[in-house]
Amino acid sequence: MRFWGDDVYIWFSICVLTAIAMIPPYFLSVEHLKFQGRYGKEKGNRICAILGLISGWGFFLSWIGIWVAPQPRFILPIPENPSIVLPGINLPIPLLHLIVSMFFLMPGAWLGVNGVRETTLRVAETHRTERIVTKGVYSIARHPQYLGGLLAHVGISFLLSALYSLLFTPIIIALIVLISVKEERELIREFHLEYEEYRKRVPMLIPRLRRHQQD
């Protein structure tokens, strides 16, 4: 199987490389203190916001491309697994894949929507954290939007039976962890003890089965 030489897979390759290429500007977009010190607070924040918009939307659109790019389709080897066609999607979807996808998509959407609701869309787009949010989904995980995105990725991969997208999941996890670690380093520089205390109470991505009682 040719990966680079076959047009069927070239779009998947482009989307993967674009997602990876968004990491450096994503890292720069959270270095608020560095840019404020170099260009002043107002201009520094504006530069970070622009970098955040470019890298955030670039990563998101390339992520969508990974889902929908031409690639081999897989089917779970389960007997009696009929396919259905959802309205507006001219693609047969095995019923079991649809059921499995819902187990990932529903909590993923809930985490993503509520994460944006708690921080506002502006903060989600520009990566400019103005205060530490500790309530709602942010009391479950420090990065609920990334966790929601990861769950949605697995769910959509099953929904579309997208083999390469599903196999790409470990790379997505690695990228999310790298981004989360970078963000937290900058948040510690900006909010010091407040964020350190929050880190001690709340896990990064995987919620605890039993949450500690907060004072």
197: closest CA among 187, 186, 210, 207? 187
Write out the DSSP string of 130-191: -S---SGGGGT-S-HHHHHHHHHHHHHHHHTTBHHHHHTHHHHHHHHHHHHHHHHHHHHHHH
pLDDT digits (tens, 9 = 90+) for 7-32: 668 889 999 999 999 999 999 999 99
Mean pLDDT is lowest, of 73-77, 101-105, 169-173, for 73-77
Report d(CA 208, CA 204) in Å as an integer.
Answer: 10
pLDDT digits (tens, 9 = 90+) for 56-68: 999 999 999 999 9
* Confidence label for 91 from pLDDT (cuts 50, 70 and 90): confident
Mean local confidence (pLDDT), 193-214 = 81
pLDDT score, position 120: 78
pLDDT digits (tens, 9 = 90+) for 156-199: 999 999 999 999 999 999 999 999 999 999 999 999 999 999 99
Both structure tokens of 22: 């968004």
Q: Alpha helix locations (H) across 22-40?
A: 23-29, 32-39
pLDDT score, position 6: 52
* Confidence label for 93 from pLDDT (cuts 50, 70 and 90): confident
pLDDT score, position 210: 62
Query: Does residue 105 have a pLDDT over 70?
Result: yes
What CATH number matches the domain at 7-201, 1.10.3470, 2.30.30, 1.20.120, 2.10.25? 1.20.120
- The residue to which tokens 């996890």 are assigned: 173
